[in-house]
Amino acid sequence: MRRLDFPNGPLFGRRAVLGLTLTPLLFGAARADEEAAKMPPQPDDRFVFLTGPKKGQVTQIDDLPLGGPQVQAYPVSQDGTVRNETPLNLVILTRFDPAGLSEETRARSAAGVVAYSGVCTHQGCAVNMWSKDRDAFVCSCHGSVYDPRNGAEVLAGPAPRPLPSLALKPADGAVAVASAFSGRVGGTQK
């Protein structure tokens, strides 16, 4: 878990910012932070990059390459809590020409940006690969392929169902969560 105190700047842990003199308060604050960091994406959350040169910074629409590949990100609350205490909150963001999106997917997108759970519905691995041949997401463990332009429907592989999606809305050059995941996040396990 991390806190984001300056939306476009570096990240600071709350404890590091406040110092040790406020220790009694910090336990409560830390617990609240941890709870917030475990919560699934909430309306108005934005996203921070998980990897790359802008790791930890809020993802702007212009940061996303048009037509893919996806970027991995975690939701961040309005008060700067990065919700990365559970891998189930991993999100993949991709930007397309809205005209190329299915009607339902376009309705959930903002400025051509679509957001899905980054957790494969097969065994729970990260959907962090991109197939140039199929113009689609690929799961990094067992190769399930998902169609990003059409609700992340399964195109190939063992995944039993599409990736849950997040409806988005524009937010000052970035995108923000408009509503919760469309379905249960995570893999299938016995």
8 A C-beta contact, residue 174 and residue 60: yes
Give the range of 3-11, 28-36, 140-148, 161-169 binding other proteins by CB under 8 A.
Answer: 140-148
Closer by beta carbon to other proteins, 68 or else 112 = 68
Determine the Cα–Cα distance for residues 27 and 10; give it in Å rounded to an integer.
23
Q: Is 7 in the site for other proteins (CB under 8 A)?
A: no
The sign of the CA dihedral 49, 55, 59, 63 is negative
- Distance, C-alpha 72 to centroid of its chain: 6
Determine the Cα–Cα distance for residues 84 and 147; give it in Å rounded to an integer.
25
Closer by beta carbon to other proteins, 11 or else 88 = 88
Q: Is 30 in the site for other proteins (CB under 8 A)?
A: no
Determine the Cα–Cα distance for residues 27 and 23; give it in Å rounded to an integer.
7
Residue located via tokens 């996040």: 185
Q: Least distance to other proteins from the beta carbon of 84, Å?
A: 11
Give the range of 9-17, 22-30, 100-108, 181-189 binding other proteins by CB under 8 A.
Answer: 181-189
Closer by beta carbon to other proteins, 139 or else 176 = 139
Total number of residues that touch other proteins (CB under 8 A): 32
Select the residue interacting with other proteins from 9, 52, 65, 183 (CB under 8 A): 52
Those residues whose C-beta lies under 8 Å from the C-beta of residue 23, and which sit 6 or more positions away, are none
Sites of contact with other proteins (CB under 8 A): 50-52, 72, 86-88, 119-120, 123-126, 128-134, 138-143, 157-158, 186-187, 189-190
